[in-house]
Structure 1
Amino acid sequence: MPQKGLFISFEGGEGAGKSTQIRILAETLRSRGLEVVVTREPGGSPGAEAIRHVLLSGAAEAFGVRMEAMLFAAARNDHVEEVIRPALESGAVVLCDRFLDSSRVYQGTTGNLETDFIETLQRIAVDGTMPDLTLIFDIPAVDGLARARKRADDGATPDRFEKEELETHEKRREAYLDIALNEPRRCRIVDAKQQQERVTEDVLSMVEPLLERFDHLSDVAQ
């Protein structure tokens, strides 16, 4: 039987630095001999990437937030079935930039959709595949948006979520913190306002205990 892998999701508001930390962690784990799959949402599989373009371009806005939530769920299910679950079954470490908590926050909290509706969608979409660890990158909305705008100044095009009002982004921050409070066994809060090197240290310290399941790392870790 293949060794069970490890599933880590990265969550947080705009400009929190998730992508940088995913890249650094992936490099660290690969240097230890682990197979690492880096993926993202919405997207990560061919079908989900097609839906991602529709969502982030704003083309689905006219159909309302309920339809958007269903599109996110459809993309997530394809992603789980085609990429995440097979990788975990092969014994890989999956690092995912956003997962179901983003739908809870973006479509639930600030999209004003009913909790029961969102949770039902997520239960169907993930079909039992949940992260072993969720790292929630916490940063004041004003600071995160400043970082996101700097990326735009450097040539990156902001998506429609980055363009929304400061108050909306702060509500999302609080929603993420509530998730961490309510699910402490799965979630850890990372202070994303720190210097990048310190954030990297914190991330590794949170991931390290879960690496014990990989027997072939025991010699490296000693």
Structure 2
Amino acid sequence: MSYLINLEGGEGSGKSTVLKMLADELKEKGFSVVCTREPGGIDIAEQIRNVILNRENTAMDARTEALLYAAARRQHLVEKIIPALEAGSIVLCDRYIDSSLAYQGYARGLGMEEIFAINKFAIDDYMPELTLYFDVNPKVGLARIERDTDREINRLDVESMKFHYKVREGYLLLLSQNSERIRLINAENELDIVFADALETIVRFIEERQATADPS
């Protein structure tokens, strides 16, 4: 069975690191796994990513930003995610539609319903079946970024602290509205604990889905 699972969180939440660990463990368990990210994942979307996250693009309008994310998401979906799902793989995606809802819809003040409408046009009915939200205090997450000299510093990283707290508020609102899909992972724990919590959540989700598909 194929599943679309996205990992979400503010800057410095550690989700990208954990995603790689999850992929390795799931492959060890015999699953076919495709890892990808947004914006990006394929050439056209990576080009759009470079425009969105370029620190020199400070004049970018919030609606322009939202539309660019949606455009990158559409191309990524049709070129990589859908083929992987049709091939029976688990797709682990570093960010997906929830990022747009939290960052542009809530933190930028464009409205979650408005951003969802834009993205509904882009993704059709390809919503994630499970979302792991890596929750971390923005001060903790940004401090991690400062210590990680290998990580890119992009346009969103240098937003105000107020903006990052708004992003977190947006995610927590999404969590409250979509508790059947979104699971909270305490990303302030040690890495091995965060990984174990995320893995347990995914494995339990898969087992429940398989049991439902084959009740015998």
Contact 2:102 2:112 in 1 (8 A): no
The residue aligned with 2:13 is 16
- Does the alignment pair 1:57 with 2:54? yes
Determine which of 55, 75, 80 is the counterpart of 1:78: 75
Distance 1:61 1:36, change over 3 A: same
1:163-174 mapped onto 2 (5 Å cutoff): 163-174=158-169
CA distance in 1, matches of 2:101, 2:42: 21
- Structure 2 equivalent of residue 44 of structure 1: 41
Structure 2 partner of 1:124: 121
Shift of 1:20: 1.1
Residue in 2 aligned with 1:203?
A: 198
Q: Secondary structure of the residue that 1:62 maps to in structure 2?
A: coil
Once residues 33 and 114 of structure 1 are traced to their aligned partners in structure 2, the CA distance between those partners, rounded to angstroms, is: 41
One-letter amino acid of the counterpart of residue 168, structure 1: F
In structure 2, the residue matched to 1:185 is 180
Match of residue 143 from structure 1 = 140
Amino acid at match of 2:37: R
Task: Decide whether the 8 Å contact of 1:61 with 1:68 is kept in 2.
Answer: no
> 1:47: Cα distance to partner?
1.2
Q: For 1:144 and 1:80, how far apart are their aligned partners in 2?
A: 28
Q: How many residues align?
A: 210
- Please state how far the C-alpha of 1:116 moved relative to its aligned partner: 3.2
Aligned with 1:89 (options 86, 89, 95) = 86
State the Cα distance separating 1:122 from its structure 2 match: 1.1
Identical-residue share of aligned pairs (%): 41
Give the TM-score normalised by structure 2.
0.92
Q: Which runs of 5+ in 2 are unaligned?
A: 212-216
1:73-102 deviation per Cα after TM superposition (whole angstroms, max 9, x unaligned): 000000111111110111101000000011
TM-score (norm: length of structure 1): 0.90
SS of alignment partner, residue 69 of structure 1 = helix
Superposition CA RMSD, Å? 1.5
Q: Specify the SS of the correspondent of 2:126.
A: coil
How far the C-alpha of 1:108 sits from its partner, in A, is 1.1
Indicate if the aligned counterparts of 2:44 and 2:75 stay in contact, CA closer than 8 A.
yes
Counterpart-to-counterpart distance in 2, 1:157 and 1:107? 21
Unmatched tracts of structure 1, length 5 or more:
216-222
User: Which shows bigger deviation, 65-74 or 114-123?
Assistant: 114-123
- Relative to structure 1, the CA distance from residue 159 to residue 100 in structure 2 (aligned partners, 3 Å threshold; closer, same or farther) is same
